[in-house]
């Protein structure tokens, strides 16, 4: 039987397509919920850094040495007490202890072939203040990222960004030592920015992400002004994570998972948008070249 009212068939078709879109959107939300990983690697990183800091203070043994710049801070901690504030305002061990434990130092890396320091320095911290700020930032940023993208990708970004920051620091910082997870942390921040860019069309909370980035970056840059904390590692880590984010944190465009449930006119034929492929190749080439 023909439609009596002109355009009724077209309206029904449009209503059907709208229903398909709503169904696809709901399915995509369910798919995203199913893909949420339980974070465990970031808490392990936090525990590792705390454990290493305890080991630093044990090796440091402030009361066993004379200090012309003052007495040990928190003496009731005995062997685990901190160096005098005039020597280390971040409440931590001496520079010699950090160097003994694996701090990044240009002469040892380049001339003594101690390349392992490019990784060991990521787990060391200059003091309690440095450790707390970094670990709170890591929990705040890292757990959300691990929930969304899993431990493999976030772990790779964390380690490679820390390594990239240490490499830049070794190239540009020759007169002092460098420690801290800040390079790896800034790598996660950089990956958040590139993830926001490459997944722009499906990202729902852009303003909150940008505010989070700005707050954590400002805090860590302020900490970077203290001694034994390296700003070159921040820059190197951020750039490494920024490029890796284009490669590892790319998301399929809307409608890809539900393409079989959509009408032919609404189906997508490519998993990613063209600009996402461009950014992926751009990030991969620059990271490998760098």
- For 71-83, the pLDDT digits (tens) are 999 989 999 999 9
Give the distance, in angstroms, between the CA of residue 75 and the centroid of all CA atoms in the same chain. Answer: 35
Average pLDDT score, the chain: 80
SS3 percent helix, strand, coil of the chain, rounded to 5, is 70, 0, 30
Residue 224 clears pLDDT 80, i.e. is over it: no
Instruction: Indicate whether 123 pLDDT > 60.
Output: yes
Active site residue 265: no
Kindly report, residue by residue over 246-288, the tens digit of the pLDDT. Answer: 999 888 765 555 555 566 655 556 666 666 667 777 777 877 7
CA–CA distance, 146 with 154 (Å, rounded to integer)? 6
pLDDT exceeds cutoff 60 at 39:
yes
Q: What is the pLDDT of residue 266?
A: 55
CATH superfamily of 39-251: Rhomboid-like (1.20.1540.10)
- Pick from 114, 195, 113, 125: which is nearest to 153 by CA? 195
- Look at residue 10 in the predicted model and tell me its pLDDT: 47
State residue 221's pLDDT score: 67
10-19, 109-118, 144-153, 277-286: range with lowest mean pLDDT: 10-19
Which pLDDT belongs to residue 195? 86
The pLDDT of residue 11 is above 50: no
What pLDDT score was predicted for residue 156?
Answer: 96
Question: For residues 135 and 107, what is the distance between their CA atoms, to the nearest angstrom?
Answer: 29
Residues 6+ apart with CB under 8 A from 290: 164, 239, 240, 243
85: DSSP letter: T
Model confidence band, residue 15 (pLDDT cutoffs 50, 70, 90): very low
Report how far residue 131's alpha carbon sits from residue 92's, in angstroms, rounded to the nearest whole number.
9
Residues forming a β-bridge with 82: 73
Write out pLDDT tens, residues 126-155. 999 989 988 998 998 899 899 999 999 999
For residues 216-230, average pLDDT: 65
Of 94, 169, 191, 234, which one is the catalytic site residue? 234
Is 204 tagged catalytic? Answer: no
Task: Output the pLDDT for position 69.
Answer: 78
Closest CA to 158 of 71, 58, 46: 46
Confidence tier at 30 by pLDDT (50, 70, 90): very low
- Give the pLDDT confidence of 49-65 residue by residue, as tens digits: 999 999 999 999 999 88
Q: Which of 81, 94, 169, 182 is catalytic?
A: 182
């Amino acid at each position: 039987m023909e439609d009596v009212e002109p355009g009724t068939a077209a309206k029904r078709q449009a209503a059907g397509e709208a229903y398909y879109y709503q169904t696809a959107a709901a399915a995509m939300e369910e798919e995203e919920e199913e893909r949420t990983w339980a974070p465990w690697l970031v808490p392990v990183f936090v525990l590792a850094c705390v454990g290493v800091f305890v080991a630093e203070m044990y090796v440091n043994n402030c009361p066993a040495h004379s200090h012309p710049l003052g007495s040990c801070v928190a003496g009731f901690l005995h062997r685990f007490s901190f160096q005098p504030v005039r020597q280390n305002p971040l409440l931590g061990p001496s520079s010699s202890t950090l160097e003994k434990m694996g701090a990044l130092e240009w002469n040892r890396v380049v001339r003594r072939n101690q390349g392992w320091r490019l990784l060991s320095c990521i787990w060391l911290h200059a003091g309690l203040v440095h450790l707390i700020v970094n670990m709170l930032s890591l929990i705040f940023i890292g757990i959300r990222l691990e929930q969304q993208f899993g431990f493999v990708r976030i772990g790779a970004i964390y380690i490679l960004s820390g390594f990239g920051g240490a490499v830049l620091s070794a190239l540009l910082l020759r007169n002092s030592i460098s420690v801290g997870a800040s390079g790896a942390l800034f790598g996660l921040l950089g990956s958040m920015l590139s993830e926001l860019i490459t997944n722009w069309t499906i990202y729902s909370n852009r303003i909150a992400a940008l505010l989070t980035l700005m707050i954590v970056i400002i805090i860590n840059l302020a900490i970077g002004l203290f001694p034994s904390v390296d700003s070159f590692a921040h820059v190197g880590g951020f750039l490494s994570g920024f490029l890796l984010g284009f490669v590892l944190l790319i998301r399929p465009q809307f409608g890809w998972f539900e393409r079989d449930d959509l009408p032919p006119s609404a189906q997508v034929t490519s998993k990613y948008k063209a600009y996402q492929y461009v950014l992926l190749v751009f990030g991969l080439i620059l990271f490998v070249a760098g």
